[in-house]
Amino acid sequence: MLKSLFSGVAGLQSHQIAMDVESNNIANVNTTGFKYSRANFSDLLAQTKSIATAPQGALGGKNPVQVGLGSSISSTTRIFSQGSIQNSGKNTDVAIQGDGFFIISPDGGNTYKYTRSGDFKFDAGGNFVDNNGFIAQGWLRDKTTGKVDSTAPITDIKIAPGLTTPAQPTAAVVLKANLNSGPIVKSFSPAYKVPSGTPTLPFTATQPAVDANGNPIASGDVGVMFNETGNAFALQNGQGVWASFISSTSTSTNAVTTPAADDTQTIVFNLDPTKSPSTATATFTLLAANSAAQNASLEAAAINAITGTTGIAATVDANNKIVLTNDNGTASASHNINIASVSSSGGLTTAFNATEDSHTAYKYTYNAASATTAAGADKEFKTLADLRTALETQAKAHSATPANNKIAISVNAQGKFQVDNPTANADNYDINLKITGFSGGGITENTKFTTNMSAMNAVLAAGTAGKAFSQAFNAATHSSSIDIFDSLGSKHTLRMEFRKTAVDTATGSTWDMTVTVPEPATIDTVAPTYEKKGSVRFNNDGSLATYNPPNISFSANNGSAPDQQVNLSFGTANAFDGMTSFDNASGTSGISQDGFTGGDLVGIRIDQSGTLVGSFSNGRSFGLAQIAMSKFTNNEGLATEGGNVYIQTANSGDPIIGTAATAGRGFIQSAALEASNVDLSRALTQLIIIQRGFQANGKTITTSDQLLQTLIGLKN
């Protein structure tokens, strides 16, 4: 009978403990990061009245007879289920989504404690602390590398109040851009200036092709240039123009006479080598009944009948001599005067040819080494400088003393050929400039190039102020600029200009590059200048082949550190991760540099990896520290110390420390807190169950008491 009393007492005690556990859960329903506990009941030892026996013969086996002695709370289990994440609006609040604990220390890292409550703040000393004043542990930014090393030992997170960051000089510029390889461009600039005069090849400082700032450069390939509307000339080998500065003229040495009998004559003119057929014949009859003047008129008429083919017009002078003229202005006709044969002495002979080829062809060539610019025969060119030299050389060659001829042909700042005839003297002459398209012999006319050049067609009298201009020659260009910083944090604009200069059908295209900085800043130390030349070459699939220079040596000359090395990063060779050259509009898709001026800390935010990112007044942001997290093999083995703090025990396992969102550790969400995981409806239901259990155990005691009273009453 007494055993039932003791069982009831044991039941009351165990339910009281369960009530204590559940009451604690309910009390912490609003405690940040709290994890509720569960009381686990177990029965006590039983009193054995008889043991179990095995079956014997015809007698079956018997089970043991045991009477239980009540219940007890064998353990409590803390449930580490995820609490809901609630936005707090405070930047330094952090919540864990998933497994893991924040690490805090009350003694500078000698001992560690653990918490799920991320209600952190900065104290007056810049320590990142919780509500107990314990300092959060993690990793700090290395001042040398500028990075947070999460493989180093953890330490107190401390960010000094009034933190400033010194200026960082630019060490690298990264550019991603496309340079248009197509036949139509919108971004172009005039060709470089080329002054008049007899150049020394290759171009030198005394006779250069020069850029807009007067700096000597290599003149660009005409084959990759564009007209004034941005359409490519796309000159092919052998294409070009005919050009003459004077009309081809010649007068027969013999006068036309009257023959004794009618005499049929033929004159065969050689045409341009590209014409088919290569000759044209004028046939006429000198009549015995005519006067010499009449016969001369017949001969002139026959020549004029084929002018459309030969370009040659005939007139008769006062001495009945034939005067032949070819103004070389008809593209469909031949050029110059060249008699192949005559049938008799009608005043003309093969020696009657013009004494010089006043009209010559200027042909584009892929091979710059074979460019021919001397006076006389057909000429070859690749660059504007070649073409300018050939034109001026031919223009001067029509003088008795070419060195005294003052005719000047240049390429001006607008990329236009400019013809000047400034002096009236014995060696200057009246220019009658005629330019027509070149075709034939398998070569088609390049009409865009002809149009550009034929704009120069003009009559310029010697000694006049008149000028003749071609249309503009342009190069495809693109530019990108970015501010870089010196060691004092001063900004300087670094400008990179690209100009298309060559195309190789087998390998790809080449663009000149000019890197400039504003004066008084300079590039290089041996021969300081405000600009540096280089080039970028592309493969025929548009990928980057190579570029030069890979870096510049920059000096701001304002008291900052000189010889600042700035790497230029345009991408990987044979790849498309940087600069490219496709048939798309030129444009910069990305440009960046790694320098910055000094700045003061103006704010801190925390990202998902637990990195405390500082924002500075100079517009820069970078990690100042990173919050460490730990996880345990057995979270339930941790012991609580109050204040939302856990400590390691023998059964929790050692902490596994690392960064958030790695190796099973949860994510960190900033400006949020993890709410208690207590389910109030479950907790209240548990209260009812525990209450009923407690009441039932109390009833056990009162019932046993009544039975005892009955026993005691038996003696009466």
355 pLDDT more than 60? no
Q: What is the pLDDT, as a whole number, of residue 198?
A: 67
- Half-sphere exposure (Cβ direction) of 11: Cα atoms closer than 13 Å: 21
> Which architecture characterizes domain 248-352 according to CATH?
Sandwich (2.60)
596 pLDDT more than 70? yes
Instruction: Parse the chain into domains and list their residue ranges.
Output: 2-80+677-713, 85-111+120-166+600-674, 172-178+474-593, 192-244+359-469, 248-352
Q: What is the pLDDT, as a whole number, of residue 51?
A: 87
Q: Exposed (0-12), middle (13-18) or buried (19+): which is 483, by Cβ within 10 Å?
A: middle
Q: What is the pLDDT, as a whole number, of residue 299?
A: 92
Residue 99 binned pLDDT confidence (cut-offs 50, 70, 90): very high
218 pLDDT more than 80? no
Q: What is the pLDDT, as a whole number, of residue 144?
A: 85
The correct CATH number of 172-178+474-593 out of 3.30.830.10, 2.60.98.20, 1.10.10.60, 3.20.20.70 is: 2.60.98.20
Residue 129 binned pLDDT confidence (cut-offs 50, 70, 90): very high
376 pLDDT more than 90? no
Tens digits of per-residue pLDDT, 492-529?
Answer: 999 999 999 888 878 889 999 999 999 999 999 888 88
Q: What is the pLDDT, as a whole number, of residue 716?
A: 63
Going through 406-557 in order, the beta strands assigned E by DSSP cover 408-411, 417-420, 431-437, 458-460, 467-469, 474-485, 491-504, 508-516, 522-523, 531-538, 544-548, 551-555
Triad 113, 119, 122: Cα angle to 5° = 90
Average pLDDT score over residue span 156-177: 94
Q: What is the pLDDT, as a whole number, of residue 211?
A: 61
Contact present, 376 and 385 (Cβ < 8 Å): no
216 against 85, higher pLDDT: 85
422 against 8, higher pLDDT: 422
First to last CA, the chain: 20
Q: What is the pLDDT, as a whole number, of residue 711?
A: 82
Of 333, 339, 358, which Cα lies nearest the Cα of 274?
A: 333
208 pLDDT more than 90? no
210 pLDDT more than 70? no
Backbone angle region of 89, left / alpha / beta, with phi > 0 → left and psi within -120 to 50 → alpha: left
> Which one of 205-214, 674-683, 698-707 scores highest in mean pLDDT?
674-683
Average pLDDT over the chain reads 91
370 against 597, higher pLDDT: 597
141 pLDDT more than 90? yes
Residue 239 binned pLDDT confidence (cut-offs 50, 70, 90): very high
Q: What is the pLDDT, as a whole number, of residue 49?
A: 82
CA–CA dist 550, 311 (Å, integer): 57
578 pLDDT more than 60? yes
Kindly list the distances between the CA atom of residue 421 and the CA atoms of 27, 155, 358, 656, in Å, as whole numbers in the listed order.
Answer: 105, 84, 17, 89
- The answer to whether domain 172-178+474-593 and domain 248-352 are alike in fold is no
Q: What is the pLDDT, as a whole number, of residue 203?
A: 58
Average pLDDT score over residue span 676-687: 94
